Chain A
């Protein structure tokens, strides 16, 4: 069997998802042995411009050049997998989308509005077709490994479409929300084994939302009844999924 040709690319983000792949210390050598890695800028200076069976793409798109490059990758790849919250939802850098314009941000940080032509941080799917999304900030390495084996086997991996609460209960955690902290677990897709609540920390929603399923309005109502300030709720919802239409609309 021919090894699948794989490219791993990064756009605007923290490189954390590529790093998570490198963090598969025990499996890395087997994994790269099973794949024909054609491009992995973070780890290798060998860049083969090629066709890819699978392209894993990290980061959000913020410049015209990135958009162009993403389109090139798309054209050369059979499957395009978005890895990480930036690629899936736009990342933390999108948290003020629709509130503070890019040029204002530019002025605030660089003191001038036209330093660069820049887009509002958007997920990859705003520009190209995305075949599969591995969410998370950063991705879960086990989930990546499982997705990679599925792809190797020829299947599209199975996406997680249930909330963090499920994993919390499977791990027998108490409910952080009921204990008085604003936890986004009920609207955030699981897959992280409820990392934060398991440590007693509220979920900040680093895996985005469950598209078409997360009950944003109900959650806002529940948070309000629990006594959280409106502005606080809004800021929290916007942290990782500001581009989700229902959250973008929250006043």
Chain B
């Protein structure tokens, strides 16, 4: 017998789950990606440095800003560009905006229907108008940050190597603050909702976490990866620690840390750096710490909800700081091509993202490597499936639960630049 969930709905991209059983024995479980691969690391070769971020941000629509920032920072690393404090603040605002947009979509529109028993957020609109309205408003607030800082909701153009082409005006920043203040309650509502659900615990098992060390305050940029077993390394050394290997049964690249699968994302960030949260997010984190079961990957949804609160508040703080410093409209760092290599890592909504490039003398890419969070998580999803499937094997819950597990990771399949799982039947 074979159970297939095909296509896996409400994830960004196209994927599916395949469980192969022999009698009552689960023989194999696979988290499948049928989406055609796009070979970004290959076709980017030869591209001139200035347009690399413009191509690479198109790896994924939902975390376009994360890819944008990772590629821009890696390029700046390679070209020795140093940006101003204002640029850094605007970038911080940007990634927090993206977190809001992405988490709002995932938590409210993609995951919540599972818990409330609807096929989609659109079907929820009648019975849960407040939640649906809140979801849309939050998403809109996050998109507003995208619009103002990058030029549009998806695949912006204004964030460049060296800074922002057009610096937002005071009024626009005020507009962001207003939107954040107005939607804050829906971020808090998300925490309330997700802390009230009983989570299926079929996949409960040991999780190892990796996240980017944000420094003093909770955030999504950093220079060092930290693992929950105490390991830590400079992002430039990522290849020594995060291994990608071909898995026999699926001929897919799976990531491993010390030979084992690991998890990245909101849950990993809270597990490792939750103590760096501030204000309301900190209060909520402490209040629900018990509920945030680190060995149950589905807790990721609650972690995302807490991050929503953090990001909304942080956007307001960033705007305040930018305004109080005064806006410099001409701020842009000089960029000159040269040979070199650079690496950067950021926390995308789904977890650690790494971009790394080598450039020739004209600034053309000669080598590129991108590891996306969904690729890193793939092995962990597989692990969770292997744990959960036998426990659920004869229940009606099997399919739905496996889907919920996969969805909790917020997998963004289009961004899995090289996560290929070949179906072999």
Contacts and interface: CB of A to CB of B under 8 A. Distances in A.
The short answer to whether A and B are in direct contact, CB under 8 Å, is: yes
Interface string A59-93: 01111011000000000000000000000000111
Contacts, number: 199
A66 B13 CA distance: 13
Interface in B126-162: 132, 136-137, 139-140, 143, 151-155, 157-158, 160
B206 to A, nearest CB: 29
A190 to B, nearest CB: 15
Contact of A46 (B62, B120, B143): B120
Interface residues of A, number: 69
A118 interface: yes
A196 B157 contact: yes
B233 interface: no
A1 interface: no
A204 B156 CA distance: 11
A65 B58 CA distance: 23
Given A10-B13, A41-B9, A235 B36 contact: no
A145 interface: no
A137 B251 CA distance: 31
Interface in A33-48: 37, 40-47
A20 interface: yes
A24 B295 CA distance: 37
A14 B47 contact: no
Interface string A190-227: 00000110011100101000000000000000000000
B7 interface: yes
B139 A235 contact: no
Contacts of A43: 10, 109-110, 120-122
Interface stretch (B37-45, B218-226, B306-314): B37-45
B279 interface: no
Interface stretch (B48-56, B235-243, B286-294, B389-397): B48-56
A99 B328 CA distance: 44
Interface string B95-138: 00000000001000110010000011111010000001000110
A105 interface: yes
Contact of A16 (B137, B154, B246): B154
Given A46-B120, A100-B42, A62 B36 contact: yes
Interface string A102-129: 1011101111100110110100000000
A93 B39 contact: yes
Contact of A137 (B38, B105, B155, B418): B155
B208 interface: no
A40 B43 contact: no
Contact of A66 (B36, B45, B122): B36
B157 A204 contact: yes
Given A15-B13, A115-B251, A137-B155, A44 B120 contact: yes
A92 B58 CA distance: 8
Given A10-B14, A109-B39, A109-B42, A15 B105 contact: no
A105 B34 contact: no
Given A25-B137, A108-B41, A235-B51, A47 B9 contact: yes
Interface of A: 10-20, 22-23, 25-26, 28-29, 32, 37, 40-47, 60-63, 65-66, 91-93, 95-96, 100, 102, 104-106, 108-112, 115-116, 118-119, 121, 137-138, 141, 195-196, 199-201, 204, 206, 229, 231-232, 235-236, 239
Given A19-B62, A206-B155, 9 more contacts: A19-B153, A42-B10, A45-B9, A46-B9, A47-B7, A100-B42, A112-B251, A201-B151, A235-B48
Interface of B: 7, 9-14, 34-43, 45-48, 51, 54-55, 58-62, 64, 105, 109-110, 113, 119-123, 125, 132, 136-137, 139-140, 143, 151-155, 157-158, 160, 165-166, 246, 251, 253, 362, 403, 412, 414-415, 417-418, 420, 422
19 contacts: A11-B35, A14-B61, A16-B61, A17-B61, A19-B61, A41-B14, A43-B10, A45-B9, A45-B120, A92-B40, A95-B47, A95-B55, A105-B43, A138-B152, A195-B152, A195-B157, A199-B157, A199-B158, A201-B158
